[in-house]
Amino acid sequence: MLFFAAYCVCFFITPRQWLGETGRSVVRGVKQPVDTFVRGSLTTFTEVTGIQLPSHTFVRHGVYLFLVSVVIPWTLMAVLRRGRPVEIGFRRPNVIALRVLVCSFAVALPFLWWMVGSAGFASGYKPHLRSAGAVLFLVYYAVNMTGEHFLFHGIMLAAFRRQLRWPEPAVVEPVGGLGLRRAATWLGLAQTGGDARGHRRITRWLGLPTGCVPAVLWSAVLFCAIHAGKDQRELLLSFPGGAVLAYLAYRTNSWLTPYVLHLATAGTACAMMLWRFGAD
């Protein structure tokens, strides 16, 4: 947890005033080799291939994010002998994935509308959209979210467990019962608790595998932390949103489920923003 917290401070969290000058110097020292490598790699690619990449900051930052959220963490897990795809969440989503995607998206819509209603949300994203153009803007955020979810809902959900790997696939009991119970089992809830007591009975009802609650919470804390500096409403939703996304990853047996859900909600929020505030 401490390692990934420090990693997020160095590479993801933008407002660092609270670190003090010494802390900022340390962060700059950690980031400088990565920045230099990315700049050099892009220059070499252009010289060797003759392909002129867009000069926008999004290109360099997109490569930077892919390196620090995918390549480096995956290499670390491989060094720890936990780099097999199935150990870090590269799995086929189970039978309830599509159901919870649709229902979660529907539940998220009023929260998205509330979030986008903040003037700070539009002022935070529209300048990027205007400066980069729609295509580069969308490609950049797709790359950004790919790395973000691989790290927070793939790597971290493995690293924050004692075994340093994802659990065995969560059990999905057959749909049964009547009324609300039938609807709950259809969504993968209302699972048999057996002789469990206390919080474990609740997690079994939710269908969450054993030993995953701390990983869900720590992942949500850091997911919230990387949203520091953004609009207050977006920041407020980032912790519960991060917890739900982590839960869905475990429950549907793949980090791809929260990734697809976040792509859908982010795209919808962008459309809502343009509809409410216009493109100018």
User: Which residue shows structure tokens 């489920």?
Assistant: 257
CB atoms inside a 10 Å sphere around CB 104:
18
pLDDT for 17: 65
How many angstroms from the chain centroid is the CA of residue 180?
A: 31
Residue at 270: amino acid letter: C
Residue ranges of domains in the chain: 61-170+208-277
Residue at 82: amino acid letter: R
pLDDT for 124: 79
pLDDT tens sequence across 133-152: 778 888 888 888 999 999 99
CB atoms inside a 10 Å sphere around CB 138:
15
pLDDT tens sequence across 262-279: 999 998 998 888 887 765
How far is 242 from 32, CA to CA, in rounded Å? 29
CA distances from 181 to 100, 174, 178 (A): 16, 12, 6
Task: Report the range out of 24-28, 143-147, 155-159, 227-231 with the highest average pLDDT.
Answer: 155-159
- What average pLDDT score do residues 94-114 get? 95
DSSP 3-state percent helix, strand, coil across the chain (nearest 5)? 70, 0, 30
- Considering all CA atoms of the chain, what is the largest pairwise distance in Å, rounded to the nearest integer? 66
pLDDT for 72: 94
Residue at 156: amino acid letter: M
> SS3 sequence, 188-225?
CCCCCCCCCCCHHHHHHHHCCCCCCHHHHHHHHHHHHH
Residue 167 or residue 276, greater confidence: 167
pLDDT tens sequence across 199-238: 788 888 899 988 899 999 999 999 999 888 788 899 999 9
User: Which residue shows structure tokens 């340390």?
Assistant: 26
Q: What are phi and psi of 55, to 5 degrees?
A: -85, 0
Residue at 145: amino acid letter: M
How far is 165 from 82, CA to CA, in rounded Å? 6
Q: Which two tokens stand for residue 100?
A: 């919870």
